[in-house]
Chain A
Amino acid sequence: MKNSINKNLWIGIILILITSCKKDFLEVKPNKALLVPTTLSDFDALLDNNASMNRSVYGPIVASDDLVAPDAAFNNASFTIKSAYSWGEIGYGGDLQVDWIYSYVQIFYSNIVLDGLEKIKENESIAYKNVKGSALFFRAFAASQLLMSYTLAYQKSTALKELGIPILLTSDVNQKYSRGNLQQSYDQVISDLKEASSLLTLTSSNAYRPNKAAAHGLLSRIYLSMGNYQSALLEADNSLKLSSKLIDYTMLTLNPLTATNPYPKIFPINLNPEVLFHAGVGQPFVNAATTAVNPEIVSAYANNDLRKAGMLYDRGGGLFTFKGRYSGSTVYFSGVAVNEVLLTRAECLVRSNKPLEALADLNSLLIYRYKTGAYQPYTISNTPNVLKLILAERRKELLFTGLRWLDLKRLNLEPDHAVTLTRTINGKTHVLLPNSNRYAFQIPDEEIIVSGIEQNLK
């Protein structure tokens, strides 16, 4: 017994002597889970960090008129939520907001991947191109979310003077940066998305990763927000050519009295044909049992419109909670989906004087949203104002995706569509005038203090 123990010990000694003399004794990774990202699969894994990469901003959802909060809900809310909801004196922000931070984490990750890809020699493979396209897409998506939250609406005439947002292009944490102008920011997003759309594959491994149609779809959203209807139309078209399937609401199990989300799962295989790219954000305040959908939207649904049962949960007392999240979870979907792209195309068509084609797009969407046989297609003759109709349908279709904020900003530039928002909180009326500076949230103090970039006007 003793001898055999000793023998084993000596074998151990000899082994350790041999191994320790080898040069790579100290080269072994201290933790299996660690990596210095260098390979395509490492970069894939970084982009698959969906808790960070597929997170969208919530400021626009809280601040938009999709949501109403009774005083009790408002009073119990956090400071950040309160200031976003009330377009407060101090403006949304000031404190360290996750919206700002997470978007820049996405840009940082994308840049790590893009920097790393430069060092890979074999750069012609489909896999390489797809990872590069994904990283560019993520960078552009994050920037587009930041533009939605922290800048004023894009106007060609003023874009060179208006403040943009910093978009870093490398992962060096020590680089100097400034906000640049709005034109530069939009140019960067567009060039990233153009390149991404040429690199991405037709289908992605899962909905948390973008595909070609998603890149075109996001590009059409960007152009729309810039008022560039021609390019928006072209990109929407490009996207719909690749993917245009819609959910048939008659096939869903809908019940206005339960809060069960009716949409098919997007994981592990995306069964929701409309979702091109998934992003979303959880927000307890929006989700709270005490806040509700703006009654204006609730009353806008026709009786035969299945979306009312699919998207809203009737709490009684005229209060409705939004449940129609394409994420299939408590996360508010704000990725890219076919319904948005289709509505964008419809709007661009009517703005390009093609009302017939616009209505065709609209009808092709709504036919899937109504009870079987109940939908009466819109025609030119029964539609006095096609644009107003499309914008109204856009609101009913895309509520709680944050897009309302983007729409408010761009439509406020048109006197016909401009809206003054009002909210009565604890007996006090709060007003948000069209084109108010408060449409651009305040940048977190931390950022301003440390990097010294310019703050938005209050």
Chain B
Amino acid sequence: MKSLFFILAILLIINTAVSAQQQIIVKGKVTDRNQLPLAGASVSILNQNTINTDSTGNFIIKVLPGNYWVTFSYMGYFSQKKLILIENNTGVLTIFLEANPMQLQEVEISTGYQKIPKERATGSFEFVNQQALEKIVSTNIIDRLQHMVAGLIFNKDATVASGSSAISIRGQNTIFANTKPLVVIDNFPYDGDLSNINPNDVESITILKDAAAASIWGARAGNGVIVVTTKKGNYNQDLRINFNANVTAMERPDQFYQSKMSAADAINIEKELFEKGFYRNREISITNTVLSPVVELLIAKRDGKLSADLVDAEIAKYALLDNRSDINKYLYRNGFNKQYALSLNGGTATSNYFVSAGYDQNASSLTGNDYSRTTLNLNHTYNLFKGKLELNTGFAFNRSNTGSSNPGTSSLTIDNFALPYLMLAGPAGNPLSIPRYRQAFSDQAYAKGLLNWEYSPLQELEIANDQTMQTDYRLSTGLKYKINSFLNLNVNYQYGNTNSDRNNIQSQDTYIVRNQINRLTVVNADGTFTRPIPLGGILDEYQSAAQSHNFRTQLNIDKEWTKHSLHAITGFEVREQIGESNSSRLYGYDEEHGSSKIVDYVSSNFPIYNSPGSTAAITSGNTQSYFIDRYRSLFGNLSYAYLKRYVFTASARLDQSNLFGVDANQKGVPLYAVGAGWTISEEPFYKINWLPELKARFTYGYNGNVDKTLSAYTTARYTSPAPNSNLPFAVVINPPNPSLRWERVQIINAGLDFATAQKRISGSIEFYSKKGIDLIGQATFAPVTGILSFKGNTASTTGKGVDVTLNTINVQRKISWYSTVLFSYGNDKVTEYLLESRSALGGIIVGKPILNVSAYQWGGLDPQTGDPQGYLDGKLSKDYASLVTKDTPDDLVYMGGLRPKYFGALRNSVTYAGFQLSANISYRLGYVFKKNSIRYYSSLIGAIDNGLSNGHGDYALRWKKPGDELLTNVPSTSTTANANRDSFYANSSILVEKGDHIRFEDITLNYDLKSVRGLKKPFNSINFYMYAKNIGIIWKATKADVDPDYSASQYVPVKTVAAGLRMNF
């Protein structure tokens, strides 16, 4: 208790005299470092008499005069034991308690329905407090959860299957239904964009992992729940102002991260292909398919239009180029983020308020793409009728602007070939063009008076104007009425509104517009032009709006007897969410006057200028959609404790929704969970002194998930007018399925919470097992039925796992050192699946994780030819057609899951004299990833192109002569190469690598001015902080030169450094 962090201040004020041997009344107040009152803190004298502070943090003790050991304690704070002399002139005591970063579990967790002290919980909750959240600098609140809690994983680039969630809580429990955890803000689910939430407004986050914790959220809890609690004001507190400002500087993305083919290699391939007549079809094509500058030169040389020397010299110049330097210079920059947040809060005895404003401005790594966000938060609470009634109103507003004019490198291709010599600018910085049609053709068209048909990436960047504005606000009101000492009635309502408006103004100077206009231009006999798409720009507008109504009434029962205590809630909830979206396109758009021109959408007979003989229609781009989701739920939750050490919980919920085309009885699903907790260390027989806290928990129950795309009846969907007929039409989206049911996840969770003396080591360990029941799966159907596959409740999964959290106080002196260790193990597998997939490559395999990798067994390169070899019936084979069709689970080598089986983090914090240094190291183990390599067959073109369109740098490492097979595994180019040879190599075991790695995630340095020098009014605290992120990989299992989590990304997340200041006064 000698720690420097324990600031004690006792103010003595002369008080009224009391005669000796008479009890003296002493008043006091317990607050945190920022003088915020701590309500409900316990003040215990001689371990006999314990009282709690009231809602304003004040307490009164009545004792005989003398010296007393008084212990002040509060959840999440270091306890203080003080020897206090109590006598007549003892004044008002003021006790500051210092927050304990390690005592994360001693908190009041929020389920979105109620707040419960952790001791009363039986389920698996994780709690992240404000201090932990403030350690990380980010625009998005969810980013701050990374490596904070066990069991929560961020699925990075390589491990995110398309459409699945970026975060998972205890693995994935569904195959086709929603994979995203439910996010709740304060009381209600939030379906908007999470980047709309200002992290500075967040007080804490609770993560609900098991059935007992999450089943109160019923049918939407299958993927776990994240409850975000925002900051509120306090009663009886003077005005407090918090200010936070920070800047984040980013490294430029590394364009050389992925191995790319050199210009010299690409040109050599172009020459080879040219010799083989590869470009012949394109050359004579009536569609004027574009050819690269090198191929044009080769044609000129062949046709004798340019001398061989000149052509060779020109081509030699191209061979020295590498456009990644230009990409780096012109398309990317050092990103830079700024964040400001200001909040005011305070309160009187009958009301309190929290008001905040935030502004973020981010300049993304892509030059010209910016993001800004303004947030506003108003929260008021009124206490009426002497505490009988509490009224809360809230207003949260957010507006963001996103500029996405820079498309990155995707358009730097010629006829699907990303040629490395396509520079963006000339030596003098002048913008260069990339041809989109044959050079002669576009020149000729231009000469005839058509618009310029060249594509210049840098000019496009200048004139592109693609902006999205998003406005989001929530209005909420809540009433809490105290019926009697143990009954409370809560009524809450929230209205949410989100609007997004994207305007992509493409002026006539943009390539896309020039191309659209030119494509349908007809040159008349008299030299005039007929332009079905008029001159002027094209405005594409996408609008979407969503509104939600949430209403809840809830009855709370809180009753305590000497030995028993009962806490229960029950209620009724209605939720409606309406979404609408429209898109429209205006041709001939004049930005200055906002005018546009009419075009003929009906005709499909406009001749295509660049493809004689073909005709096309004008794309309308007008669409509309509308959805409405409704939920109606009944819920209840009960917790009963005996002697405060035996806790039983039960929770149940019935959800109903407007699932389409399902019989009324199938619209609802009842879900329940039960749990028990036993605080063993409170038992009289418990004698283990070194482990003063020990609690066991066990829960069992069900969460649900829903796939709203399915229906029990034949359902069809109306679709926008077909381009041919302009008739609205309907497509069948669902064959009848009378036995459709909701998905359910059964979860069993067993946990142990413990702490050694003085919490030197504390933490929890949890084991869980999950069973996905009635999961939506696919089954193959023969084509004659009219459908190819059928989705129904045909799949099931199981999962097992362990979550461990350990907090240790290693050194606690002048220098203190704390550690947090997170460890998670999760192993899920599919146990039932009806689709007999023809290919097990990346497909669902019974007995393996949902996301997995299988591969062909690699047999090395043929020493004579450099051909890849596999195994057929145990013998080396190059019969690729047979090799690639042998792809059932039995034929293939199972390589592993795509998501880490073991993961976690180690955070170390060292404090000294106002400095706090904290560093985070994460690890992800037990998974594999697929490495990219060269492909000689292009599926895009449908022909062998010797790897030109693929462009992978492995080309340089390919087998070229006998003996190379000892040095490389990259197959040779081959005239007999085909798609199967490529598929075999690309899916062979040689390209599957272990993903295991350890990463230095981030480091934070915090300097607290107050604890060093003390502060004068008006300042309560001033903190300076620095934060560096994405520091690098410390160790990885693979020798491949890629980051296992970003093996297919263009570049890895950039290193960032942030610096900021936080003030409180």
Q: Which residues of A are interface residues toward B (Cβ below 8 A)?
A: 2, 5-6, 8-10, 12-13, 16-17, 20, 25-37, 42, 45-46, 48-52, 72-73, 75-78, 96, 100-101, 104-105, 107-109, 111-112, 116, 166, 168, 171-175, 177, 206, 208, 258-261, 265, 267-268, 288-290, 313, 315, 321, 323, 328-331, 444, 446-447, 450-451, 453
Structural contact, A112 and B732, CB atoms closer than 8 A: yes
Q: How far in angstroms is the closest Cβ of chain A from B565?
A: 32
Are A34's CB and B716's CB within 8 A? yes
Give the 6 A-B residue pairs with the shortest CB-CB distance, closest first.
A259-B613, A108-B786, A451-B782, A45-B730, A32-B626, A48-B729
**Interface residues on chain B, number (Cβ under 8 Å):** 79
B859 contact set on A, CB distance < 8 A:
none
Residues of A within 8 A of B787 (CB): 108, 173
**8 Å CB contacts to A: which residues of B757-797?**
780-788, 790
| Binary interface encoding of chain B residues 551-586 relative to chain A, with 1 for a CB under 8 A from any of its CBs, else 0 | 100000000000000000000001010000000000
Assuming A17-B551, A51-B722, is B627 touching A30 (CB within 8 A)?
Answer: yes
Residues on A with beta carbons closer than 8 Å to the beta carbon of B615: 260-261, 328-330
Q: A175 to B735, alpha carbons, bound, how many Å?
A: 13
Contact string against A for B residues 603-644, beta-carbon threshold 8 Å, 1 for contact and 0 otherwise: 111010000111100000000011111101000000000000
Which partner residue on chain A sits nearest B712 by CB separation?
A36
Tell me, rounded to whole Å, the shortest Cβ–Cβ distance linking B280 to chain A.
6
Residues 715-745 of B contacting A (Cβ, < 8 Å): 715-719, 722, 724-733, 735-736
Select A36's contact among B657, B714, B836, beta carbons within 8 Å: B714
Q: Which of A2, A104, A259, A447 contacts B393 (CB 8 A)?
A: A2
* Cα A207 to Cα B728 with chains together (Å): 15
With A34-B660, A76-B943, A321-B613 known as contacts, the answer to whether A48 contacts B725 (CB < 8 A) is yes
Assembled-state Cα–Cα distance A286/B551 (Å): 61
- Is B730 within 8 A of A48, CB to CB? yes
Task: Determine if B627 and A5 form an interchain contact, defined as CB atoms under 8 angstroms apart.
Answer: no
Task: Name the CB-closest residue of B to A179.
Answer: B784
> Are B630 and A289 neighbours in the complex by a CB distance under 8 Å?
no
Q: Does the CB pair B281–A37 fall under 8 Å?
A: no
Q: Are A76 and B658 in contact (CB under 8 A)?
A: no
Tell me whether A26 and B781 are in contact in the complex, defined as CB-CB below 8 angstroms, given that A9-B477, A107-B786, A268-B602 are known contacts.
no
In angstroms, Cα B785 to Cα A111, docked, is 10
Q: B786 contacts A104, CB within 8 Å? A: yes
**Chain A residues with CB below 8 A from B733, complex form:** 34
CA distance A37 to B788 in the complex (A): 21
Q: In the assembly, what is the distance between CA of A46 and CA of B786, in Å?
A: 14
CB distance from B391 to the nearest CB of A (A): 9
Q: Say how far B307's CB is from chain A's closest CB, in angstroms.
A: 28
Chain B residues positioned under 8 Å from A5 (CB to CB): 393, 395, 475
Residues of A within 8 A of B393 (CB): 2, 5-6
Residues of A within 8 A of B732 (CB): 46, 108-109, 112
Contact check, A31 vs B784: say whether CB atoms are below 8 A apart: no
> Out of B495, B717, B722, B783, which one reaches A12, CB within 8 Å?
B495
Q: Give CA–CA (A450, B66) in the complex, Å.
A: 90
What residues of chain A lie closer than 8 Å to B722, measured between beta carbons? 48-51
Measured between alpha carbons, how far is A46 from B781 in the docked complex, in Å?
Answer: 21
Contacting residue for A35 out of B495, B717, B943, CB 8 A: B717
Question: Contacts A31-B625, A328-B604 hold; do A105 and B786 have CB atoms under 8 A apart?
Answer: yes
A76 and B786 in contact (CB under 8 A), knowing A171-B735, A173-B781, A268-B726? no
Q: Which residues of B are found within 8 Å of A42, using beta-carbon distances? A: 716, 730
Q: Give Cα A17–Cα B281 distance, bound, in whole angstroms.
A: 68
CA–CA, A111 to B280, complex, Å? Answer: 48
Question: With a CB–CB cut-off of 8 A, which chain B residues contact A116?
Answer: 714
The residue on B at minimum CB distance from A49 is: B729
Collect the chain B residues with CB atoms within 8 Å of residue A96's CB. 783
Most chain A CB inside 10 Å of its own CB: which residue of B395, B605, B727: B727
B91 at the interface (CB under 8 A from A): no
Q: In the complex, what distance in Å separates the CA atom of A446 from the CA atom of B656?
A: 39
Residue B195 CB within 8 A of the other chain = no
- The reply to whether A30 and B659 contact each other, CB–CB distance below 8 Å, is yes
Question: In the assembled complex, which residues on chain A have CB atoms less than 8 Å from the CB atom of B782?
Answer: 446-447, 450-451, 453
C-alpha spacing A108/B734, complex, angstroms: 12
Once the chains are docked, how many angstroms separate the CA of A267 from the CA of B615? 14
User: With an 8 A cutoff between CB atoms, is B1051 at the interface?
Assistant: no
Please tell me which one of the listed residues A27, A28, A52, A313 contacts residue B731 in the complex, with CB atoms under 8 A apart: A52
Q: Known: A51-B722, A323-B613. Contact between A16 and B551, CB under 8 A?
A: yes
When C-beta atoms are compared, the residue in chain B nearest to A98 turns out to be B783
Residues of A within 8 A of B287 (CB): 289
Q: Are A45 and B729 in contact (CB under 8 A)?
A: yes
CA distance A289 to B284 in the complex (A): 8
Residue on A nearest B780 in the bound complex, by CB = A450
Is B549 an interface position by the 8 A CB rule?
Answer: yes
Instruction: Judge whether B661 is part of the interface by a CB distance below 8 angstroms.
Output: yes
Taken together as a complex, chains A and B put the C-alpha atoms of A104 and B732 apart, in Å, by 13
Binary contact track B101-130/A, C-beta < 8 Å → 1, others 0? 000000000000000000000000000000
User: How far is A5 from B477 in the complex, measured between Cα atoms in Å?
Assistant: 10
- Pick the residue among A49, A75, A100, A453 that contacts B730 (CB under 8 A): A49
